[in-house]
Amino acid sequence: MEIKELGHLVLYVKDIAASAHFYGEVLGWRRIAPPTGGESLGGAGIALFAADSGRTHHELLLIEVGERAAPIPAGRRLGLYHFGLKIGDSDDELREAVQRLREAGVPILGATDHHVSHSLYIADPDGNEIELYVDVPGVDWRSDPSLVLAPPKPLRL
């Protein structure tokens, strides 16, 4: 077996409307289904998203589990730490993201220079951490993979 690419991500969410707004309106993912409210998967509200690139049929599926679901525990734990979303190829695009996040009232948890990429860290309405990043132009990490493990430093935009 050989993994060809990361296909999609499925997240359980408390409130489908709030999460669909966050991923669709704030982060700008294209909502592909359901086109209107009311559709469900086994009685749960759902929302399906894809990037405009058309790379695959869907990249994110949200499934509503309601307010009584257990929250993500704080601190070091097993499971998902964060997932990364590439939003462009320049720091100007990161600056635009900062402005959009501020306008939407989304706190920025951190900003990091990873040498091969520049990243902002945020959380969705359920506390899932998300890395929004751009690749640094001119960095040839394919020829020198050790660059990926270089110690990170604070990012100054």
CATH number, position 144: 3.30.720.110
Tokens of residue 107, six digits: 């706190």
* 40, pLDDT greater than 60: no
Q: If you ran DSSP here, which 8-state letter would residue 146 be given? A: G
Instruction: Say if residue 37 is in the same domain as residue 87.
Output: no
Tens digit of each residue's pLDDT (9 = 90 or more) over 108-157: 999 999 999 999 999 999 999 999 999 999 999 999 999 999 999 999 98
Average pLDDT over residues 50-76: 90
pTM of the complete model? 0.91
Instruction: Say if residue 90 is in the same domain as residue 59.
Output: no
CA atoms within 13 A on the CB side of 14: 12
| Number of domains composing the chain | 2
% of the chain with per-residue pLDDT over 70: 94
Tens digit of each residue's pLDDT (9 = 90 or more) over 110-123: 999 999 999 999 99
